[in-house]
Amino acid sequence: MVHAVYPGSFDPVTLGHMDIVCRAAKMFDKVTVAVARNYNKPSGYFNPEERAELITRCTSEMPNVHVDLCDGLLADYVRRIGANVVVKGLRAMSDFEQEFQQALINRTLNPDMETLFIASSVEHMYLSSSMVKQVGALGGDIRNFVPPQVREDIIKRILSKA
C-alpha cells in the first residue's frame, strides 16, 4: 500500500488545496492531509483543530483520505504514521526552490521518504490562503476560491478578523 501525506497549514483551505487532495487520492491508496502549524505565521485565522475539521468536511466523500494534525518535523511524522510519500503542490517556479530545499532536508532526516511535486491546475495557480484572506478582509468575494462545504465558515471568520 502506498500511503501519501499532503502537509500544509491550510489557513484556510482553498480550492487549490482540494485540487491537490483529489488528484493525490486518485494516485495513492491512502492520503493523509496533515494539518501543521506554520512556524513562519504563528497567528492564523483558524486554529489547527478548526482547519482539520474544515478539511474533514471537504473530504468526507473520499474514502481513502484521512485528516490529521501534525506537529514537529514532517520527516518524523511520516515515519511515525508509516507513510512513504509526501505530496507537495507547486503553483509557480518560485514555490519550487523552497519546496525542493525542504524535500532534500526531509530526505536527509528520513531516507525512506520520497517527495512528489504536483503542478497546480491552471485555474488555481494564482490561489493561496494568504490571498483569500486578503481579498476577503477587504470585502472581496471569495466564493470562487474556497470549497462550498466550508465557504460560509471561512467568510465569517475572515470578516470577524478584518
- Among residues 30, 88, 120, 129, the one annotated as catalytic is 129
Identify the active-site residue in 9, 17, 23, 51: 17
Question: Which of 50, 57, 45, 54 has the alpha carbon at shortest distance from 132?
Answer: 45
41 is annotated as an active-site residue: yes
Catalytic residue check, 91: yes
Catalytic residue among 66, 79, 91, 151: 91
Given 41, 143, 156, 161, which residue is catalytic? 41
Residues acting as catalytic residues: 17, 41, 91, 129
